[in-house]
Amino acid sequence: MIRNFKTLDIWNRSRLFVKTIYLITKEFPDTEKFGLTSQINRASVSVPSNIAEGCGRKSIKELSHFLDIAIGSTCEVETQIYLGKDLDYISIETMEKLVDEIAQIRKMIIGYQKTL
């Protein structure tokens, strides 16, 4: 059963989070272009992308699998946010806001997965 991912709050919220990450990583040093900047951008894009891909699959088992991948990507993004703080690319205030938002997105994905 194919679902309309565009109606899901988790897809919309995670898509907006990607924009936030991109705006923040624009300020990272050029030396990180192929390092942390690329990594955190790709991991953040992976969250709404996997939600959407899972919704396009026919079975609940497949959807759940892609939601698992999205959950893993939220953990990857969270780690990279901490690394950005450790390297002084992100302020503690920004780090706390980002970590809180990605944790909320992860909880929403888990909650959605439990309804399947």
CATH code where residue 97 lies: 1.20.1440.60
Total number of domains in the chain? 1
pLDDT of the residue at 25: 98
Query: What spatial distance separates the first Cα and last Cα of the chain, rounded to whole Å?
Result: 11
Signed CA dihedral, 114, 79, 19, 62: sign only: negative
- pLDDT tens track for 79-109: 999 999 999 999 999 999 999 999 999 999 9
Residue 116 has pLDDT above 90, yes or no: yes
* Cα–Cα distances in angstroms (integers) from residue 58 to residues 15, 40, 61, 65, 72, in the given order: 23, 30, 9, 12, 22
Q: Which pTM was predicted?
A: 0.96
Q: Is the Cβ–Cβ distance between 81 and 23 less than 8 Å?
A: no
Cβ contacts of 95-101, under 8 Å, gap ≥ 24? 98/20, 98/21, 98/24, 101/17, 101/20
- pLDDT tens track for 15-61: 999 999 999 999 999 999 999 999 999 999 999 999 999 999 999 99
Token pair recorded at residue 24: 């923040």
Cβ contacts of 22-29, under 8 Å, gap ≥ 24? 24/84, 24/90, 24/94, 24/98, 27/89, 28/84, 28/89, 29/89
- pLDDT tens track for 52-65: 999 999 999 999 99
Residue 9's domain comprises: 5-115
